C-alpha cells in the first residue's frame, strides 16, 4: 500500500497532530519525516490532552509502530523525556524506532540558536530556540553527529572533539559567549543518554519499505508547514527543513511513487508564530477574538500566535507544491458567531491584482489582500458529525475553499477531540 502524507499548508499549528491521530486508526507505521522538537502536536482523547514534540502522533494506538525518520533532528534528552511522560500516562512507547541517520541536536546548537537570534536584533526570526537551524546547518556542512554515532564511543568522541573546538571558537570570538565543555557533553550523551536510546535505533528505511511491500498502511507525518519550508516558505522566516510533501520522501527514504495520498491540513483561518510576512494578519479586535476563541498560544512555547483570515492564494500554492489530494479544514468551530467570514482570494500590489503568491519576497511584504466576504453562522458546531449537521453558511465557506484551492475538502475539524470531526460530503 503506498504511503499517505500529512502536511501543513500554512505556517504551522494547523492541527496536524489531531489529523494524524485520526488517520492513524488505519495505519501500521506512523513516521515523522523532518523537524525536531520545534513542533508541538496536540491530540485530545477522552478529554485528555497530549502535546507531542518528537514522537509521531500515531503513538497513542497500540497497533501502530511510531518511527522517527532520517530527516528529523533529535535531542535525545527531549526524546527520552517525552517517552517517560507518555509511559507515565499509560502510553506504551516500546515500539518506537529511531533512524540511525537522524542528526543529533547538541547543546551548542541551542547556544548558537540563541546567539544568532540575539545578533539579528530587530530582524530576529523568532525561532523556537531549540537548536533546530544550527543542527541542520551542521548536517549540511557535514559536521553533524548522527543518532548512530551514539553507538560508537570512539567515533562520537572524535567527531565531537572537532566540532566543539569549532563551536567554541565561534561562540567566544563571534558572540562573546562562554565555551562549551567537551567532557560534560560527551559524558551526558554517551553515558546518560546513549544506553537508553540504543535499543530504539533501527534501519527505518528497510522497516518502511517492508511495510509498504507487505501492503501495510504507512503514514508520514509532517511538522511545521509549507510556508515554513526552507525552499518554498517565506525565507528567511522559515524553519531549516523541508516540511513539504517532497521532504516526506527524503526524510524517510521512499520515492514519490510510494506516496498515493497527500492530506493538506489548513486551519479555517490562519495563524503564525514568530516573525515574517502575513498578508491577512488581523491586528485589532477581530484578531484578539480569534486568538481567544481558538486558544492560539504555542503548544510548547506558549507564545501567542498571530491571527488572520484564511488565505486561499497560499492554499492554492500549497496544493501545487505538495500535490495535495485533499484538504482537511480544522477549527471551523472557532469561526462560529462571526457575522461574516472573509477569505483572501487575491492580492493587490502596485495597482495590480494578482492571484498567485509573488515569487519576490519583498512584494509579499507589500501586498494588500483582496477578500471575498461570506455570511457567518452562529450555530455551535462542536457536536456536528455529518455534513448535514453543518449550517448552510459553513458549508458554503467550505465549498468556497474547495473551489479556490482546486482540491476537495474531506475532513472538517469541529473541536479538539479525536471524535470531533465531520467527513465532508458524507
Ligand atoms: P499542529 O502543530 O499542526 O499539530 O497543531 P497544534 O497542536 O500545535 O495546534 C492546534 C490546536 O488546535 C491544538 O490545541 C488542537 O487541540 C486544536 N485543534 C485541532 N483541531 C481542532 C478543531 O477542529 N477545533 C478546535 N477548536 N481545536 C482544534
Ligand atoms: P508545528 O509542527 C508553528 C516557526 C518558529 C519560527 C520559525 C523558525 O507545531 O506546526 P525554528 O525553531 O524552526 O528554527 O523556528 O518557524 N516554527 C513553528 N511555528 N508551528 C511549528 O511547528 C513551528 N516550528 C517552527 O516560530 O518562526
Ligand atoms: Mg503545533
Question: pLDDT tens for residues 245-278?
Answer: 999 999 999 999 999 999 999 999 999 999 999 9
Query: Where do the DSSP E strands lie in 9-130?
Result: 29-32, 41-45, 48-52, 65-68, 73-74, 97-99, 103-104
Give the confidence band of 47 by pLDDT, cuts at 50, 70, 90. very high
Q: What's the rounded mean pLDDT across residues 409-426?
A: 95
Q: How far is the CA of 41 from the centre of ligand 3 (A)?
A: 5
The number of helix segments (H) and strand segments (E) in the chain equals 13, 20
- 132: pLDDT strictly greater than 80: yes
Which helix H or strand E contains 268, and what residues bound it?
none
**Ligand 2, atom nearest to 13 Cα:** 10
Q: What's the rounded mean pLDDT across residues 51-73?
A: 97
Q: Which ligand is nearest to the CA of 137?
A: 2
Q: What is the pLDDT of residues 82-115, one digit of tens each?
A: 999 999 999 999 999 999 999 999 999 999 999 9
Q: What are the residues whose beta carbon lies below 5 Å from ligand 3 (ion)?
A: 13, 40, 299
41 is catalytic: yes
- 300: pLDDT strictly greater than 90: no
Q: What's the rounded mean pLDDT across residues 304-313?
A: 98
Strand 218-221, strand 29-32: pairing: parallel
For residue 368, the model assigns a pLDDT of 97
Grid coordinates given for 200? 530504539
Q: How far is the CA of 151 from the centre of ligand 2 (A)?
A: 30
Q: Which of 21, 37, 41, 311 is catalytic?
A: 41
CA-closest candidate to residue 327, choices 344, 310, 339, 342:
310
CA-closest candidate to residue 164, choices 141, 181, 176:
181
Cα 18-247-198 angle, rounded to 5 deg: 80
CA-closest candidate to residue 107, choices 140, 81, 145:
145
Grid coordinates given for 251? 526524510
Strand 41-45, strand 29-32: pairing: unpaired
Q: How far is the CA of 295 from the centre of ligand 3 (A)?
A: 12
Q: How far is the CA of 220 from the centre of ligand 1 (A)?
A: 18
Strand 368-375, strand 340-349: pairing: antiparallel
Does ligand 1 have an atom closer than 6 angstroms to the CB of 222?
no
Q: Which residues contact 296 (CB under 8 A, 6 or more apart)?
A: 13, 271, 290, 304, 305, 307
Which of 16, 35, 42 is the pocket-test mutation for ligand 1 (most atoms within 8 Å of CB)? 42
Alpha-carbon span 96 to 110, nearest angstrom? 25
Q: How far is the CA of 353 from the centre of ligand 2 (A)?
A: 30
**Ligand 2, atom nearest to 299 Cα:** 9
CA-closest candidate to residue 66, choices 42, 43, 83:
83
Please, what is the average pLDDT of the chain? 97
Give the confidence band of 188 by pLDDT, cuts at 50, 70, 90. very high
Give the confidence band of 299 by pLDDT, cuts at 50, 70, 90. confident
For residue 399, the model assigns a pLDDT of 97
Q: Judge contact between 384 and 414, C-beta under 8 A.
A: yes
Residues with CB under 6 Å of ligand 2 are 8, 11-13, 38-41, 125-128, 130, 132-133, 223-225, 228, 237, 239-240, 273-274
For residue 1, the model assigns a pLDDT of 74
Amino acid at each position: 500500500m503506498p504511503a499517505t502524507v500529512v502536511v501543513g499548508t500554512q505556517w504551522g499549528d494547523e492541527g496536524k497532530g489531531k489529523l494524524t491521530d485520526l488517520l492513524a486508526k488505519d495505519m501500521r507505521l506512523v513516521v515523522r519525516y523532518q523537524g525536531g522538537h520545534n513542533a508541538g502536536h496536540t491530540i485530545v482523547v477522552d478529554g485528555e490532552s497530549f502535546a507531542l514534540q518528537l514522537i509521531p502522533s500515531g503513538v497513542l494506538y497500540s497497533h501502530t509502530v511510531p518511527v522517527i525518520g532520517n530527516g528529523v533532528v533529535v535531542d535525545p534528552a527531549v526524546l527520552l523525556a517525552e517517552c517517560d511522560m507518555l509511559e507515565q500516562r499509560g502510553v506504551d512507547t516500546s515500539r518506537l524506532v529511531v533512524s540511525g541517520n537522524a542528526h543529533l541536536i547538541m547543546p551548542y546548537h541551542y547556544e548558537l540558536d540563541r546567539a544568532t537570534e540575539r545578533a539579528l536584533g530587530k530582524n530576529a526570526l523568532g525561532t523556537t530556540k531549540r537548536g533546530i537551524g544550527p543542527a541542520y546547518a551542521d548536517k549540511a556542512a557535514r559536521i553533524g553527529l548522527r543518532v548512530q554515532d551514539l553507538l560508537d564511543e570512539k567515533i562520537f568522541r572524535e567527531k565531537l572533539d572537532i566540532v566543539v573546538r569549532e563551536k567554541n571558537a565561534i561562540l567566544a570570538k563571534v558572540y562573546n559567549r562562554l565555551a562549551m565543555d567537551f567532557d560534560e557533553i560527551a559524558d551526558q550523551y554517551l553515558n546518560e543518554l546513549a544506553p537508553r536510546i540504543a535499543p530504539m535505533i533501527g534501519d527505518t528505511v528497510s522497516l518502511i519499505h517492508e511495510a509498504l511491500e507487505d501492503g501495510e498502511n504507512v503514514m508520514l507525518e509532517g511538522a511545521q508547514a509549507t510556508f515554513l519550508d526552507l525552499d518554498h516558505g517565506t525565507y528567511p522566516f522559515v524553519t531549516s527543513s523541508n516540511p513539504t510533501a517532497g521532504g516526506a520522501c527524503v526524510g524517510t527514504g521512499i520515492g514519490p511513487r510510494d506516496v498515493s495520498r497527500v492530506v493538506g491540513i489548513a486551519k479555517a483561518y490562519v495563524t503564525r508564530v514568530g516573525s515574517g510576512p502575513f498578508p491577512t494578519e488581523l491586528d485589532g479586535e477581530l484578531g484578539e477574538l480569534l486568538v481567544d476563541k481558538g486558544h492560539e498560544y504555542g503548544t510548547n512555547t506558549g507564545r501567542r500566535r498571530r491571527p488572520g483570515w484564511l488565505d486561499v492564494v497560499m492554499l492554492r500554492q500549497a496544493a501545487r507544491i505538495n500535490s495535495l489530494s485533499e484538504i482537511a479544514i480544522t477549527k471551523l468551530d472557532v469561526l462560529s458567531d462571526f457575522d461574516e467570514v472573509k477569505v483572501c482570494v487575491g492580492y493587490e500590489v502596485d495597482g495590480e491584482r494578482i492571484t498567485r503568491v509573488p515569487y519576490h519576497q519583498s512584494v509579499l511584504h507589500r501586498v494588500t489582500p483582496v477578500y471575498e466576504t461570506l455570511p457567518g453562522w452562529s450555530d455551535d458546531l462542536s457536536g456536528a458529525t455529518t455534513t448535514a449537521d453543518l449550517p448552510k453558511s459553513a458549508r458554503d465557506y467550505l465549498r468556497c475553499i474547495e473551489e479556490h484551492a482546486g482540491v476537495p475538502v474531506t475532513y472538517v475539524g469541529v473541536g479538539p477531540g479525536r471524535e470531533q470531526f465531520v467527513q465532508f460530503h458524507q
